[in-house]
Amino acid sequence: MGDDKVMKEAMEVMTLFQVLPRLVVFDLDYTLWPFYCECRSKREMPCLYPDAKGILCALKDKGVDMAIASRSPSRDIAETFIHKLGISPMFVAREIFSSWSHKTEHFKKIQEKTCVPYESMLFFDDENRNIESVSKMGVTSILVNNGVTLGAFRQGLTQFSQAPSSSNKDRKR
């Protein structure tokens, strides 16, 4: 499916929900793209998972903010790839650094920068330890198996809308 078709479907999926997250946070390696960027060279041209671009474009179009939370030790390569892919203006925060903690520091920084409460965030990641620690902060967190897909996106929005605090969340704008 092309990016435009995925975007259209992602837009349709979003219309099904009364409540949307204010901020959607993505991991990079094995969530937005199918590799560890520390194993790559900056000279390469990276690719995203097939549904990733369409989902990012749909969120952008809908006015939902996005951010990156990556524990990559090679921030320079990750940033180079984000620029090469033309997606850097889409993110209001990009926290890319290695850490002992499982992304709790990343989310504290994202929260400080965006002022969005954890309960209004949705997060996608391919590692269960990150999902566990970040969901304890109050963020709706979705484990992806094969990168972010339309199926994972729909699951994320469903889980977000069913979270206990969703009655306090901002209604769809």
Name the site residues for Mg ion (rule: CB under 5 A).
Answer: 27, 29-30, 126
Residues 6+ apart with CB under 8 A from 141: 122, 123, 124, 125, 130, 131, 134, 135
Q: Identify the active-site residue in 4, 27, 65, 76.
A: 27
Is the CB of 30 or the CB of 118 nearer to Mg ion? 30
Is the CB of 83 or the CB of 129 nearer to Mg ion? 129
Q: Identify the active-site residue in 3, 4, 29, 51.
A: 29
Is the CB of 65 or the CB of 126 nearer to Mg ion? 126
Query: Known catalytic residue: 29?
Result: yes
Please identify the residue of the shown chain whose CB is closest to the bound Mg ion: 29
Smallest separation, CB 40 to Mg ion (Å): 14
Smallest separation, CB 8 to Mg ion (Å): 27
Check residue 26 and report its DSSP letter: E
Residues 6+ apart with CB under 8 A from 30: 36, 126, 144, 147
Smallest separation, CB 67 to Mg ion (Å): 15
Residue 105 main-chain phi, psi, to 5 deg: -65, -40
Smallest separation, CB 76 to Mg ion (Å): 18
Query: Known catalytic residue: 27?
Result: yes
- Rounded to an integer, what distance in angstroms lies between the CA atom of residue 144 and that of residue 30? 8
Rg for the chain, CA atoms, rounded: 15
Is the CB of 41 or the CB of 145 nearer to Mg ion? 145
- Rounded to an integer, what distance in angstroms lies between the CA atom of residue 102 and that of residue 99? 7
Catalytic positions are 27, 29
